[in-house]
Amino acid sequence: MYSTRPVKIAGMGYYVPPNVLTNFDLEKMVETSDAWIRERTGIRERRLAGRGASTSDLATEAAMACLRDAGVTAREIDLIIVASASPDYLFPATACIVQHSIGAVNAAAFDMEIGCTGFIYALATGAQFVAAGMYRKVLVIGAECLSRLVNWSDRTTCCLFGDGAGAVLLVEGSHGEGLVAFHLGADGSGKDLLSLPAGGARMPASSETVEKGLHYIHMEGKAVFKFAVKIVDAAVTKVLEKCGKTPQDIGVLIPHQANLRIIESACERFGISRDRVVVNIDKYGNTSSASVPIAMCEALHEGRIEKGDLVVLVAFGAGLSYGAAAIIWS
C-alpha cells in the first residue's frame, strides 16, 4: 500500500439464488452434454436469479450478510462500491440502489465495470479510501446477474455463467497484515474478445441490434482462455514480488472461477496443491465479479483460511483486464 494506514477485511458475506440449473437441464435447452461441460469447464450446475430479481437484489443480500458478519450497521458505512458487468441499468449506478435498499444513508456510492476483474479493482479502490483516511468503513461488492445477458440458445456461452454476489467490509487494520499488495492491469487491444456489443453509446439498442443478438454476451472463448492462462501467471507473480513473497508462501489461492483448466494450469505453474486452491466453479459456474468474494467467503466458512495465511486473489476478464491482490489474513 502507498500510505500510512493499513487496511483489512473486517467482515464478509455472500448470496447465491436458490434456483439451480444443472448441465442436465441445459441438455434439454441446447445441443450440449453434461460430459462436455464438465470436461471443458469443470461446471456441473449454476444458480440463476429468480424472475424479476436483478443484480442489486443479489448485492443487497450479500451486503446485509457482510454487515451482520462484521457487526456493523448500514448507517456506519461511508462508501459502497459495486463491481458488476451486469448492472441493473447503464445508469443509475447499482451501488446507489444498494445504498438505498440497505439504508446506508451516510454512504457515497459508485459502480466499477471491468468485467470479471471488477472485484479486485473495487477492492484496490476501496482500500485506497481507507488507506488515505478519507473513509473508515467501505463496503466492496461483486454482484452479477449474467443470466440476463446470456443468449440461452448459444451453447458456447450459456453453459458458462451464473448469478451471485459477494461483499467485504474494509476498515483500518494493523501494519504487516490485511491487504498488503495489489497488481492491476489491462490490455484494451482485446476489447472485442469478450463484450456485450449493443445497448451503449457506441451501438445504441435498436430492432436491428436485437435481431442480430448484439445485446447478448459475445466471447471468443479460445482467445480469452489463452490470455487467462498467461495473465494469471503474470499477475500472481507480480503481486507476490510486490509483497516480497514466493509461490511457496501462498496459504490459499482464490482464483476467478472461469474454467477449471485455467485454475489447474495456475496450480501446476506455481506448484500449489489442490488443498491450497479454492474451487467452487462446479456449483456456481462463472459468476464474474462475484466469483472471488463468494469463493473467499466459502473458504473462510469452511475453515480453510487461518490468521496469518497469505491469501492471493487473482482474476481476469473483459477489457481485457486482470488483477491480483495479496492479503495477510487478520
Answer whether 289's CB lies under 8 Å from 113's CB: no
Please give the residue whose beta carbon sits closest to ligand ACO in the complex: 317
Comparison of 116 and 181: residue with beta carbon closer to ligand ACO: 116
Q: Give yes or no for residue 257 binding ligand ACO (CB under 6 A).
A: no
Q: Residue length, the chain?
A: 330
Q: Give yes or no for residue 259 binding ligand ACO (CB under 6 A).
A: yes
- What whole-number distance in Å separates Cα of residue 239 and Cα of residue 316? 14
Distances (CA, A) of 196 to 111, 140, 178: 18, 24, 35
Q: Active site residue: 23, 66, 96, 116, which one?
A: 116
Q: Give yes or no for residue 40 binding ligand ACO (CB under 6 A).
A: yes
Q: Taking the complex as a whole, how short is the minimal distance between the CB of residue 119 and ligand ACO, in angstroms?
A: 11
DSSP-assigned states of every residue in 185-245 = EE-GGGTTTEE--SSSSSS---HHHHHTTTTS-EE-HHHHHHHHHHHHHHHHHHHHHHTT-
Distances (CA, A) of 12 to 36, 160, 256, 293: 34, 25, 17, 8
Comparison of 177 and 220: residue with beta carbon closer to ligand ACO: 220
Contacts of 44 (CB under 8 A, 6+ apart): 22, 23, 34, 37, 38, 282, 283
* 75 C-beta neighbours (distance < 10 Å), count: 11
Helices and strands, counts by H and E, the chain: 11, 13
- What whole-number distance in Å separates Cα of residue 126 and Cα of residue 203? 31
Q: Taking the complex as a whole, how short is the minimal distance between the CB of residue 46 and ligand ACO, in angstroms?
A: 13
Q: Which of 211, 93, 202, 192 is nearest to 151 (CA)?
A: 211
Q: Give yes or no for residue 258 binding ligand ACO (CB under 6 A).
A: yes
DSSP-assigned states of every residue in 97-147 = HHHHHHT-TT-EEEEE-BTBTHHHHHHHHHHHHHHTTS-S-EEEEEEEEGG
Q: Taking the complex as a whole, how short is the minimal distance between the CB of residue 154 and ligand ACO, in angstroms?
A: 9
Q: Active site residue: 145, 256, 280, 297, which one?
A: 256
Segment near ligand ACO (CB under 6 A), from 34-42, 123-131, 177-185, 235-243? 34-42
Answer whether 141's CB lies under 8 Å from 164's CB: no
Q: Taking the complex as a whole, how short is the minimal distance between the CB of residue 182 and ligand ACO, in angstroms?
A: 19
Strand order in 178-186's β-sheet? 178-186, 321-328, 310-317, 250-255
Is 256 labeled as catalytic in the residue annotation? yes
Segment near ligand ACO (CB under 6 A), from 155-163, 181-189, 240-248, 304-312? 155-163
Residues 189-208 that bind ligand ACO (CB under 6 A): 194
Is 116 labeled as catalytic in the residue annotation? yes
Residue 160 preceded by cis peptide, ω within 30:
no
Q: Give yes or no for residue 36 binding ligand ACO (CB under 6 A).
A: yes
Residues 50-89 that bind ligand ACO (CB under 6 A): 85
Comparison of 10 and 37: residue with beta carbon closer to ligand ACO: 37
Comparison of 150 and 168: residue with beta carbon closer to ligand ACO: 150
Q: Give yes or no for residue 286 binding ligand ACO (CB under 6 A).
A: yes
Q: Give yes or no for residue 32 binding ligand ACO (CB under 6 A).
A: yes
Out of 38, 132, 172, 225, name the contact with ligand ACO by CB under 6 A: 225
**x/- site string to ligand ACO, residues 2 to 21, per CB under 6 A?**
--------------------
Size of interface with ligand ACO, in residues (CB under 6 A)? 23
Out of 87, 126, 317, 323, name the contact with ligand ACO by CB under 6 A: 317
Catalytically active residues are 116, 256, 286
Could you list the residues that contact ligand ACO (CB under 6 A)? 32, 36-37, 40-41, 85, 115-116, 155-156, 159, 194, 221-222, 224-225, 228, 258-259, 286, 288, 317-318
